[in-house]
Amino acid sequence: MSDRKLSGQFFDAAIGLLQKVRDEEAGNIEAAGELLADAVAGGGRLFAFGAGHSSLPAQDVVYRAGGLALMNLLVVPGVVGVDVVPATLGSALERVDGLASAALDTSPLRAGDVLVIISLSGRNALPVEMATKARALGVKVIGVTSVAYATETKPRNASGTFLKDHCDVVLDSKIAVGDAELTLDTVPAPFAPASTVVTSALMQAVMATAAGALADRGIEPPLLRSGNVDGGHEWNSRVMAEYGDRIFYRH
């Protein structure tokens, strides 16, 4: 089997997942976008969090050309991507009880805000505790996860629950347990994960929905423009000046 054929199989798998998410999660995407629009219109702030590779789709919507300027990254040191050494420490921290509470206690999150929590499995202590703690603070929580894990695996946290059990809106990425789309007789393990592709698309679909919902209400969406187009920096300076008290990545 040629590498080219494998690449085509991966694209086919990713496209199939994107189509499934588009068709089956349309209502939840709409609901998530409306939650973001509600927060923007009501003076709230927007945050996104993910641990490990689930941090990538969260980072993708922060300070992003064409994205909402009010989307901030909620950072828990040691679990953002693979920026710690050894990288396995980040995975271990996801299972530490109390870490999410400590992070939220020192964050700017408050009632009326919206927090998007991205966790493929949704089974570890960090995302579950973050969701429960955030909702107790009066924060609306959007969970982006694979619901399949809740039926095919066991929770790995003291509550015995999954992220999906503690959200105002759940977006199901439809990713199979193990996050690998391809197999080959000559390769001993499944390979080619698609969770980043699908989850990033889900996040951008929610951002687009929120922008449209704000426009429908007569509110100009606080969008950023590329700094590499004429007038982009001036546009962004205006937006950041208007919404500066709700943008935390500038400080």
Go through the domains of the chain in sequence order and give each one's CATH number. Answer: 3-246 (3.40.50.10490)
Average pLDDT for the chain: 95
Contact (Cβ atoms closer than 8 angstroms) between residue 39 and residue 113: yes
Does pLDDT of 182 surpass 50? yes
As a whole number, mean pLDDT of residues 189-195 equals 97
pLDDT of residue 13: 97
Q: Are strands 140-145 and 169-172 parallel, antiparallel or unpaired?
A: parallel
pLDDT of residue 80: 87
Structure-model confidence comparison of residues 58 and 158, the more confident one = 58
| Token representation of residue 57 | 């789709």
**83-92, 167-176, 188-197, 201-210: segment of lowest average pLDDT:** 83-92
pLDDT of residue 140: 98
Contact (Cβ atoms closer than 8 angstroms) between residue 109 and residue 48: no
Tens-place pLDDT, residues 117-136: 999 999 999 999 999 999 99
pLDDT of residue 3: 56
As a whole number, mean pLDDT of residues 182-188 equals 95
Q: Is 31 exposed, middle or buried (0-12, 13-18, 19+ CB in 10 A)?
A: middle
Q: Nearest CA to 147 among 180, 126, 169, 114? A: 169
Cα 190 to chain centroid distance, Å, stands at 25
Tens-place pLDDT, residues 216-238: 999 999 999 999 999 999 999 99
DSSP assignments along 185-234, one per residue: TTEEEEE---HHHHHHHHHHHHHHHHHHHHHHTT----B---TTSTTHHH
Strand ranges, E, within the chain: 46-50, 71-73, 114-118, 140-145, 169-172, 182-184, 187-191
As a whole number, mean pLDDT of residues 192-218 equals 98
pLDDT of residue 1: 44
pLDDT of residue 250: 86
Does pLDDT of 29 surpass 70? yes
Tens-place pLDDT, residues 38-90: 999 999 999 999 999 999 999 999 999 999 999 999 999 999 888 788 989 99
Give this prediction's pTM: 0.95
pLDDT of residue 83: 79
pLDDT of residue 251: 76
